[in-house]
Copies of this chain bind each other. A is one copy, B any other.
Amino acid sequence: MSVWALTGIPEIQPGDDLVEVILAALERDPDEPLEDGDILVITSKILSKAEGRIVEAEDREEAIRKETVRVVATRPREGGGATMIVENRLGIIGAAAGVDASNTAEGTVLLLPVDPDGSARQIAERMRAALGVEIGIIVSDTLGRPWREGQTDVAIGAAGVHVFEDYAGKTDAAGRPLAVTMPCLADELAGATDLVKRKSTGNPVAVVRGLGHIVGGLDLPGAAAILRPAERDFFRLGTDLAFEQGFDAGVASVRGAGGSSAGGSGTGDSGSGGSDATTPGAQNAEDETS
């Protein structure tokens, strides 16, 4: 597999046609032209800029609120303000709803693209037609993770690429089913290109060659397929917020039920935590405390 950053992508302005910009850069690029099976990973930032998703920096907090559909966790930040982990409009869970204050024009912040999967599909469609080669498109963004310091680039948009290598039905070398193993190729692709993009700044597009076996039709699921529904997630709510909601439910259970068993009331009060995303785990209590 070879991975290289596409050079000569100019500063993107609102209204720019990214496909034309990338095609022009490809013509000027010293590397060979794109081939069947190549995958282009595009930093979401330039897609946002082309879409004119720029707002005044003073409106950053308001912009974050507008992009937020659900607060997952928050904690006061050293030096004031609060770090907010939220689920944004696209269903992506991350800090500040993806509102980006770095590498934007002074006094402005950048919102995530309107529809990264849709844009990826359009870009793939037009570039496949223009170049006559079957390429895949990934739109990448930088996300932090629980439990691990630092950030990695992941896929927030995809088209013409298998975002997962689905092992369902397959077996390991010893014949055991590998159903639970489902590597997220799209996220690994985004991270891989981040390594070359940051070698020289200002290279928001990178090419991955040698993985033609994971490139396919434009009807393949996009990056939205990577997003796990909150109700299926063990960490749909931050620890502090979940504890607070549990605390309130516990107090209510005693007061409301005149001191009846916490466990029973806990089950009954499951919905009273105040967040639709919270389905407190009374039925999981035994497992959790074992």
Contacts and interface: CB of A to CB of B under 8 A. Distances in A.
A176 B185 CA distance: 33
A105 B76 CA distance: 49
A204 to B, nearest CB: 12
Contacts of A2: 1-3
A71 interface: yes
A99 interface: no
How many copies make up the complex?
2
Interface residues of A, number: 103
Contact of A284 (B76, B103, B154, B269): B76
A90 to B, nearest CB: 12
Interface string A92-129: 01000000011111100000000000000000000000
B1 A102 contact: no
A288 B150 contact: no
Interface string A70-84: 010111100000101
Contacts of A254: 250-251, 254-255, 259
Task: Give me the 6 closest cross-chain CB pairs, A-B, nearest first.
Answer: A250-B250, A240-B281, A246-B246, A150-B184, A192-B192, A243-B246
